[in-house]
Amino acid sequence: MLLATRCACGFERQEDEEVIDHLLELFDPEDAIGADGQAHMEMAYLACACGFKTTHGADLDYHFLVVFTPPGQVGTDGRRHEPTTPLTV
């Protein structure tokens, strides 16, 4: 599996920030309410307020991304954001 290293907006993965961190920052609503109407926030180690539990932090990040990504993938900055991989020649 090739992980995304860029966002369609031009953001590129950095030493201390992955693309998923960038997306969560733009899609995570202040009230923590997901598209399903439920509250989603980390309540305990690797557990969400909705009852989702995992043993891997990446799974919890992905859970948040799924429930918080708005239709059209438009972030709070009004731009479309989606993970992309670099082009190989």
Nearest alpha-carbon partner for 64 in 30, 34, 31, 26: 34
Q: How far is CA 48 from CA 6, 21, 34, 45, 62, in A?
A: 27, 17, 12, 9, 12
Tell me, yes or no, whether 53 lies in a domain: yes
Q: Domain total for the chain?
A: 1
Q: Is 74 helix (H, G, I), strand (E, B) or coil?
A: strand
Lookup: tokens for 34: 């997901």
Query: How does the average pLDDT of the chain come out, rounded?
Result: 87
Contacts of 45 (CB under 8 A, 6+ apart): none
Is 75 a residue whose pLDDT tops 60? yes
Mean pLDDT along residues 67-75 = 90
Segment 31-60, tens digit of pLDDT: 999 989 999 999 988 999 999 999 999 899
Tell me, yes or no, whether 43 lies in a domain: yes
Tell me, yes or no, whether 35 lies in a domain: yes
Domain interval for residue 48 = 6-84
